[in-house]
Amino acid sequence: MKKLLLPAAGALFALASFQLLSPAPAPRAVTSYQSDPNTTDEVPQDNKLVIYQMMTRLFGNKVATNKPYGTITENGVGKFNDINSVALQAIKKLGATHVWYTGVIEHATMTDYTKFGIALDDADVVKGRAGSPYAIKDYYDVDPDLAVNVKARMLEFEGLVKRTHANGLKVIIDFIPNHVARTYKSDAKPAGVVDLGEKDDKTKAFAVNNNFYYLPGQPLVVPAGNNPLGAQKGPKEDGKFAENPAKVTGNDVFSATPKVDDWFETIKLNYGVDYQHGRAKHFAPIPDTWLKMRDILVYWAKKDVDGFRCDMAEMVPVEFWAWVIPELKKVKPELVFIGEAYDAKTYKMYIEQGHFDYLYDKVGLYDGLRRLMRGEGNTEDITRVWREESRGFSSHMLRFLENHDEQRIASPDFAGDPKAAIPAMVVSATLGSGPVMLYFGQEVGEPANGAEGFSGNDGRSSIFDYWGVPNHQQWMNGGKFDGGKLDGGQKQLRDFYSRLLNLAGSSEAIRRGKFYELQDANNLGKDYDQRQVYTFLRYTDKQKLLIVANFSKDKTMRPTLRIPPQAFTAMGLDPNRVYAYQDLLNGMPATDNLTMTLTPQSAYIFEIQERH
């Protein structure tokens, strides 16, 4: 295991000090979005969501074998019951308010559960030994991998929901609306439910009440080379999967011959859009797929889940969301809907028309911070993000640095160093009032080494295969969930995340405050590298915060920070007074007249206080 080589606490989280000067130098030219181009309002949040995402099958797995393409017996798997109250209390103390249990709903897999009455999936259309959690096999059931007693698997999930709530956390699960597994067939559906595709007219490429799209007269040809097991073929890994007529592939491939890098293991659901005839919309009367998917969401809402992370939300017409989300909030008004979205031009539409509570901020803040963390970008990316999102949806954006789709920060494919997350995570957690998310293992510098199986050695923790997550297992410590096997650097890193997330979730200014950027005020300051340092204010009547992040990997800077008089006035403070600055993140003593020292890859959250 690669040790985390971090400096001592005093070096890593060194005190930043500064002397306030005014007036500020003239700002560079900027596009004016408001009367003051440096500031924007935030929509106040009573409670800022702090989401802890876990890949459920990986979280509780204590087996460290990690054989590529290993079976469930060889590599092990985590269970619902592994996520006990001790684990949940540790997640709660980390600062989380919600747990996103990824991969709960039953999906296609190579593991044989036929003795429990579950049909065997054809391995030719399964990715990895465990299978993708986004190739849903039965919307009304949970993954049997996750149960100690497979026959009681739903009871075990319901127990996890109750246990999560009892420990002061809320539950988010995935809803995958765009596609299902090629082998979809519900054996757990409630009485009276008609299965997806059961009444489809397969002679028609498109019919408004068909649940799937078809390619009449064309049998499916599974792409060559899709089977990763090679010589380890089992009885059904024979390249003879039969589907005739072929159904359209999940990533909108209207061809009977999808490629290996397509979502060939899935089939596209039909929401009433005729893609092959000008994308004509047929939404009245309400299409059958809409009704079926509403009923599925209601089913899970009645299991007492608190929210849904909606996979590839933009691949489903916004009109469906505009209808279904209000329908669900009639059942449970406090439900939270989070949409996975990547087209920034449609964000406002999916929030205002589609009624999503939150959307991924991947192509905005995540991509910009990733470039900064890799030494390839500059802080202009952050400026661009808040200016673009100041048009009314900043508080609706979910910020993160890792999730199941993205590479681990500590992997050589990303930053190669978990310390790179320190300034970036502070910006992610504090730039806006919307949610922030942490992916399990991120807080202990998991590098995702090794080729697990289908996805190869790509810097990600596999979603396709059975695997143990080494750094996370060190924190898990055989089920004690106490960090007993972490080294000093890992403990220090996790402590940073805990302090940050607890502060982000409790701070009045971060949850409810306005925003004021200080880049223009400091761009001419001595030793202030505006490309690598980012400084801003978050403030309400009750609390004023000054936040500083140094993204440089190797440069210590000693700038004299400037807060212009108009910024003090915006905060309701007298610019002629001297204030004390208390570092809430790093616990350093308050000061009012110091020279700033910014160590590499560091961040600071100062509360501006009246002098006593």
pLDDT at 437: 98
pLDDT at 8: 29
Instruction: Answer yes or no: are the C-beta atoms of 350 and 339 closer than 8 Å.
Output: yes
> Within this chain, do residues 464 and 490 fall inside the same structural domain, yes or no?
yes
Last residue within a domain, chosen from 453, 477, 505: 505
Positions in the chain whose pLDDT score sits under 50: 1-35, 231, 235
pLDDT at 10: 30
Last residue within a domain, chosen from 505, 526, 543: 505
> Within this chain, do residues 529 and 389 fall inside the same structural domain, yes or no?
no
Question: Which pLDDT tens digit goes with each residue over 564-594?
Answer: 999 999 999 999 999 999 999 998 888 886 5
> Within this chain, do residues 105 and 30 fall inside the same structural domain, yes or no?
no
**79 part of a folded domain:** yes
**355 part of a folded domain:** yes
26: domain range?
9-42+513-610
Question: Which pLDDT tens digit goes with each residue over 300-354?
Answer: 999 999 999 999 999 999 999 999 999 999 999 999 999 999 999 999 999 999 9
**575 part of a folded domain:** yes
> Residues 523, 529, 531, 534: what is their CA dihedral angle, to the nearest 10 degrees?
-80
**237 part of a folded domain:** no
> Within this chain, do residues 308 and 384 fall inside the same structural domain, yes or no?
yes
Last residue within a domain, chosen from 452, 486, 505: 505
> Within this chain, do residues 435 and 575 fall inside the same structural domain, yes or no?
no
> Within this chain, do residues 404 and 480 fall inside the same structural domain, yes or no?
yes
pLDDT at 12: 36
> Within this chain, do residues 473 and 541 fall inside the same structural domain, yes or no?
no
> Within this chain, do residues 27 and 150 fall inside the same structural domain, yes or no?
no
DSSP bridge partners of 268: 179
- 25: domain CATH number is 2.60.40.1180
| Parallel/antiparallel/unpaired status of strands 436-439 and 280-281 | unpaired
> Within this chain, do residues 425 and 393 fall inside the same structural domain, yes or no?
yes
pLDDT at 592: 83
pLDDT at 24: 37
pLDDT at 392: 74
**412 part of a folded domain:** yes
Non-local (6+) Cβ contacts of 214 within 8 A are: 200, 202, 203, 204, 205, 245, 246, 247, 248
| Parallel/antiparallel/unpaired status of strands 588-591 and 579-583 | antiparallel
**265 part of a folded domain:** no
Angle at 541 between CA 540 and CA 543, to 5 degrees: 60
> Within this chain, do residues 387 and 535 fall inside the same structural domain, yes or no?
no
pLDDT at 238: 65
- 385: domain CATH number is 3.20.20.80
Buried b / exposed e over 247-259, threshold 16 CB at 10 Å, is: bbbbbebeebbbe
Number of domains in the chain: 2
How crowded is the C-beta side of 523, counted as CA atoms within 13 Å? 12
Here the tokens at position 206 are 């498109």
**267 part of a folded domain:** no
The greatest distance separating any two alpha carbons of the chain, rounded to the nearest whole angstrom, comes to: 82
> Within this chain, do residues 553 and 488 fall inside the same structural domain, yes or no?
no
pLDDT at 39: 72
Listed residue (182, 67, 64, 60) closest to 127, CA to CA:
182
> Within this chain, do residues 490 and 534 fall inside the same structural domain, yes or no?
no
**554 part of a folded domain:** yes
